[in-house]
Amino acid sequence: MPAYYNEIDPYAAQWLRNLITAGHIAPGDVDERSIEDVRPDDLRGYTQCHFFAGLGGWSRSLRVAGWPDDRPVWTGSCPCQPFSVAGKGLGFNDPRHLWPAWYWLIKERRPAILFGEQVAAATDWLGLVRHNLEALGYAVGAMPIEAASAGAEHFRDRCWFMAHDAQQRAGARRLQRGRQQRGTSGNSQDPAGSISHCYDTERRPDHSSRNVDVWTPPGWVESSSDAPERGARDVVDDPGFGWGEGWTEHEFRSRGFAAAVAGIDGCQYVECPDGKWRRLPPPRVRWLGNGIPARVAKLRAIGNAIDPRPAAEFIRAALEVI
């Protein structure tokens, strides 16, 4: 049974298709609709469902952690812009706060296991997520992990969480005990590894309000979330999108930059105008250049993606518990 990928950005969606074709992530279908337009029945038949899929980081992380493609799971990385320090700080009032839409699908389909992440500073958001999932009977665990602690060359401080349906887990144990008592093994699908436990309904939440049957934290303001229409466009692997080999310090200086550069553990870092030190671009990723907009889409897709290394470590830890 294939995987389902939901990604609204056409550039990232095509990147997902390329990765599927190359065999780097689980085979499946890419849906470019907004998650607010996805209905529960649209997800029937899919073993894995990845929402806000980006570049398929969750699928890749699951594989790295030893989670097979045919083992059911849901994943999602809700947009971080409403809660990121680099955003506008609108929080729950931001129309990109899409947890209510994902929560509705979770409530209707009841996946046995799901993983997610958010910027570490979004503690109120995590409290909302935990409250909603525990109310549905899920056991929820979360912890912050910096990407640098998993071998990455950047901090990317994120809070990772997992939810396990306690009812389905208990049901699986009862089923297993029953089989043992009867002395039969059977070939029935284990309900703890299934996403088929769902409700037959076409009812959809009213997205004119951000409150989709969820707890409302302090400062909540209801707002409209009608998304503008997005036209599809072809995206190809083209030199114009900024493929390159990265810069050395010599190349950095040859372009007229005079900022301080320091070598740390074999990597080159440059002091930026905001006082922070950032690593010179890694191989195959070039920095933005004034008047060169073709690279924006690629770097934006990379910037919105999760780092598979800390995700894989978190999944390994969850597997030990499961």
Please write the tens of the pLDDT for every residue from 110-119: 999 999 999 8
pLDDT at res. 93: 75
Are the C-beta atoms of 116 and 76 separated by less than 8 Å?
yes
**At the topology level of CATH, where does 3-211+305-321 sit?**
Rossmann fold (3.40.50)
C-alpha distance from residue 148 to each of 100, 151, 302 (Å): 31, 5, 16
What is the spatial distance between Cα 301 and Cα 280, in angstroms, rounded to a whole number? 18
In the structure, what pLDDT confidence band is assigned to residue 254 with cuts at 50, 70 and 90? low
Share of the chain above pLDDT 70, in %: 64
Q: Which of 117-126, 238-247, 282-291 has the highest mean pLDDT?
A: 117-126
What does the pLDDT average to over 66-77?
Answer: 96
Are the C-beta atoms of 34 and 226 separated by less than 8 Å?
no
What is the spatial distance between Cα 252 and Cα 259, in angstroms, rounded to a whole number? 9
Tokens of 71: 């083992």
> How many degrees, rounded to 5, is the angle at CA 288 between CA 252 and CA 273?
65
E strands, 201-271, are 261-264, 267-271
E strands, 70-213, are 73-76, 113-119, 138-146, 157-165
What is the spatial distance between Cα 108 and Cα 22, in angstroms, rounded to a whole number? 33
Are the C-beta atoms of 69 and 26 separated by less than 8 Å?
yes
pLDDT at res. 257: 67
> Taking the model in full, what pTM does it have?
0.68
What does the pLDDT average to over 142-155?
Answer: 81
Pairing of strands 113-119, 73-76: parallel
Which residues have CB under 8 Å from 148's CB, separation 6+? 154, 155, 156
Average of per-residue pLDDT values in the chain: 74
Q: Is 56 left (phi over 0), alpha (psi -120 to 50) or beta?
A: left
What does the pLDDT average to over 204-230?
Answer: 36
Per-residue burial over 233-269, b if 16 or more Cβ lie within 10 Å, else e, is eebeeeeebbeeeebeeeebeeeeeeeebeeeeeebb
Which residues have CB under 8 Å from 95's CB, separation 6+? 210, 223, 224, 225, 227
User: pLDDT tens digits for 92-132?
Assistant: 777 788 999 999 999 999 999 999 999 888 888 899 999 99
- The domain spans of the chain are 3-211+305-321, 239-291
